[in-house]
């Protein structure tokens, strides 16, 4: 929801300092929180009105490509982001698989 009125930099500057000190209180791993924030920020790049990736693509696309075509093409990717967030909520350990493989646990 924050991606609609704000860009990613404002979201990070405003909300991460508010929620970061609360992570230990709610027993949330900072890595999990960081991945969750990154996934949520992807939705701000893909949804109007601040869909910067869609506007960048419109800037280089041929004139016959409409912005509505771009937004309809973005919907499968937006669905994938929402599915990834749902998987993270259902199985939080999937966030830690790769870091554990690289750094051990």
| Dist CA 101 CA 105 (whole Å) | 8
| Dist CA 54 CA 51 (whole Å) | 5
| Dist CA 81 CA 37 (whole Å) | 12
Query: Predicted confidence band at 105 (pLDDT cuts at 50, 70, 90)?
Result: low
Please report the pLDDT score of residue 24 as a whole number: 94
3-state helix, strand, coil in the chain (%, to 5): 70, 0, 30
Question: Would the pLDDT of 10 be above 70?
Answer: yes
Question: Would the pLDDT of 99 be above 80?
Answer: yes
Using alpha carbons only, give the angle 54, 60, 61 rounded to the nearest 5 degrees: 80
């Amino acid at each position: 929801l924050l991606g609609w009125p704000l860009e990613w930099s404002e979201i990070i500057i405003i909300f991460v300092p508010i929620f970061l000190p609360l992570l230990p209180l709610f027993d949330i791993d900072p890595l999990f929180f960081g991945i969750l924030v990154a996934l949520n920020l992807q939705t701000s790049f893909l949804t109007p009105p601040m869909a910067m990736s869609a506007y960048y693509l419109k800037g280089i696309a041929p004139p016959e490509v409409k912005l509505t075509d771009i937004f309809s093409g973005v919907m499968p990717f937006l669905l994938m982001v929402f599915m990834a967030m749902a998987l993270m909520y259902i199985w939080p350990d999937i966030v830690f698989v790769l870091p554990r493989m690289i750094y051990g646990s």
